[in-house]
Amino acid sequence: MNAPEFPSPRTRARQAPAVLRTPGVRLLPFLLFAAVCMLGFRIEVVVETITHARHATLQVAPPAALAQTQPDKPADNSSDKSANAPTDTAADKSGAPMADTNSVSSPNGKPDADAADAAAGATPGQPAFNPSTLTKSEIETLQRLAERRDLIEKREQDLDAREGLMKAGEARIDGKIAELHDLQTTIEGLLQKYDKQKQAEIDSLVKIYGAMKPKDAAGIFDTLDMPILIAVVQNMKEAKVAPIMALMSREKARALTEELSQRKQIGTATE
C-alpha cells in the first residue's frame, strides 16, 4: 500500500485563498437583499410623498377643474362617500381648508359667471354642450339663423325709429292744430267785438238821421257810400226812410232800391 500523500506547504499556501474566498461569495445575497429592502423603503417614501401632494392639489384645485376630472356618469352615494372619505381624512390631517363646491370661482379668485351659468343650466346626467361635435350643415344653419336674427333686430330698430318719428310728427301736428284753434277763437272774438262796435256806430247814425229833417237827411244820403247807406237804411224804420228817399236824387234812390232788393233776395234764398 502506498503511504498517504500530504500536501506540501506551498500547496497549502495556494489552496488557502480559495478557502478564504468562500465566505465572501456567501455574503453577496445578503447584500443584494439589503439593497432591495432599502430600494423598497425609498419607493414607499416617494409614493407617500406623491400621495400627499396629490391630496393637497385636489384640495386647492377649483371645483371647475375637479368637475372636468370627474366622469360624466353620476355615481352612487356609497361610491361618493367612499371616494370622498380619503380626501376628507387627508384634509383633516393636513389642516387645509376644504374647497366650497357650492360656489363657482375662476382661478384668479373671482366668480366665474360662465361656469355658474353652465352649472345652473346643465341637467343632471346630461353632458355639457360641445360645439366641436356639430356638423358642417348644423354650423351653416346656425350661422343663417344668426344672420336672420340680426336682420330682424335691425328691422325692429328701424321700425322703432320710424315709430318715434311718427309720434314726434303727430305731436307737432297736434300742437299746430291747437295753435290754429286758439287763433280761430281769437279771430272770432275780435270779429264779434268789431261787429258790436260797428253795430253801435250804425245805431248811433240811425238815431242821428232819424232825428234830422227828411230834406237834410236826403242831402247827406246822396253823398254816402252805398255800403254805409244800406247799413243805415236797413236799421231805420220804413216810416223814417220813405220821406228821405223821396227827397234824394233819382240815381241814388234807384241804386239804393236795387241794392236793397238784391239783398232781400239773397236773404230769402239763404233762409
Give yes or no: residues 35 and 110 share one domain: yes
**Whether residue 104 is found in the same domain as residue 161:** no
**Residue 163 counted as domain residue:** yes
Q: Do the Cβ atoms of 230 and 260 come closer than 8 Å?
A: yes
Based on the structure, what is the number of domains in the chain? 3
Residue 190 within a domain: yes
242 inside domain = yes
Residue with the bigger pLDDT between 245 and 6: it is 245
The answer on 142 and 177 residing in a single domain is: yes
Does pLDDT of 81 surpass 90? no
Q: Residue 163 — very low, low, confident or very high, per pLDDT cuts 50/70/90?
A: very high
Domain C-terminal end among 154, 170, 195: 195
Q: Does residue 142 lie within any of the structural domains?
A: yes
Same domain for 190 and 216: no
Whether residue 72 lies inside any domain: the answer is: no
The position carrying cell 330682424 is 152
pLDDT at 171: 93
Most confident of 30-34, 44-48, 176-180, 208-212: 176-180
Statement to judge: residues 260 and 222 lie in one domain: yes
- C-alpha dihedral over 83, 84, 87, 92, to 10 degrees? -150
Q: Is residue 14 part of a domain?
A: no
Does 149 lie in the same domain as 103?
A: no
pLDDT of res. 13: 52
In the block, residue with C-alpha cell 231805420? 236
Q: Are 178 and 145 members of one domain?
A: yes
Bigger pLDDT: 64 vs 144: 144
| Statement to judge: residues 51 and 87 lie in one domain | yes
The per-residue pLDDT for 271 is 61
What's the pLDDT at 147? 93
Structural domain includes residue 181: yes
Length of the chain: 271
pLDDT of residue 7: 55
Domain membership of residue 269 as a residue range: 212-271
